[in-house]
Amino acid sequence: MDFRRIARRRLPAPVFHYMDGGADDELALARNTEAFADYELLPSQLSDVSKIDLRSTLFGQHVDWPVMIAPTGASRLFHAGGEPAVARAADKFGMFYSLSTLSTATIEDVAAVSAGPKAFQLYVFKDRGLTEDWLDRCRDADYVALQLTVDTPVAGNRERDFVYGFGAPPRSRLRQLASFARHPGWLYRALVRQDLEMVNITSGSEAARNWKGGIRKYIDEQLERSLTWKDVEWLAGRWSGALVIKGVQTVEDCRKAAESGASAVMLSNHGGRQLESAPAPVDCIAAVADALRDRLEIICDGGIRRGNHVVKALALGANACSIGRGYLFALAAGGQPGVERALMLLRADVERTMALAGCDSVRKLGRSYVRQRR
């Protein structure tokens, strides 16, 4: 099912391209998925695959399959159901849900609709009081993992935002207004219901609510550019659950993460939206797993579109994969039922790939099932 095509039809062009686009020439964005084609699966024939076991553990929690929902900001941009709709779908499929700092639903909103395991993605702001408030709220709401994003000292050069007028001035204004006019339902929610506020920030900061220039300007000025591994150590001392470093890609940075108190890493280039020509996450797995799998859990974040992508990543040494656009397109296309449909299709694809590879449990996957093409 082509959720992307449906999402493009249902969203104003600036909003769709904000979700769909990457940085600069979008080489990293394209490479994230294309890189999976560089790996071949090696089937073990005449193996009993009458039952496929996808169950695993992640961040100390039992999950029904090793795929998690990646944190994405402002999900109500794409559908009125927003983050709670996705969290409910994740709960039904026994998987981790990750809530973004920049979400349009609060930490407590999501906890109220989902009993499943949850993580909070953290941007460290200059206002450390706000950061500490989020940690306290996550503890109170039973979030079990914290994902610190480290690849955003500044925003990437996302040229589609300028071309299509997402938050950009006049050059694209006529095209932008015409596109919004063709989507009156979306416009009503934005202008009348006004449910697109980044509520975790505004609910915890009077300064954010009253910042001259608005919330986006506040976020740009608050993002901490001087963040170092010392700050990770500080965070590890304040948080007792799983601490995940999101946005690392090298063995050296992963080693520093472990030494600073992290328990997991998300190999990620921010969906190709930050540093152009950063490596595809799948290409980072083997080296990190060889060096540090006994010290860190490893999540492959980026480019996952098919079941064979998940199986390849696990065989290379990842503990789990995370998906972002894969569920956002489905959310825009059909709300919570759309997300559930996308997850059902992906899970069935993982099961089919496992059977065809001759492996009856994700816990048995290893390098014997995969090789890099020459």
CA separation for the pair 106, 336 (Å, rounded): 18
Question: What three-state secondary structure class fits 339?
Answer: helix
DSSP code of residue 71: P
Give the containing element (helix H, strand E) for 224: none
**117: burial class by Cβ within 10 Å (0-12, 13-18, 19+)?**
buried
The per-residue DSSP string of 131-195 comes to HHHHHHHHHHTT--EEEEE-S-SS----HHHHHHTSS--GGGHHHHHHHHHT-HHHHHIIIII--
Both tokens assigned to 137: 């709220």
CA separation for the pair 17, 294 (Å, rounded): 40
DSSP code of residue 246: E
Closest CA to 95 of 371, 363, 368, 346: 346
Catalytic position from the list 79, 183, 270, 309: 270
270 is catalytic: yes
Amino acid at 271: G
Question: Alpha carbon of 320 to those of 137, 243, 246: distances in Å?
Answer: 26, 15, 13
* Catalytic residue annotation: 270
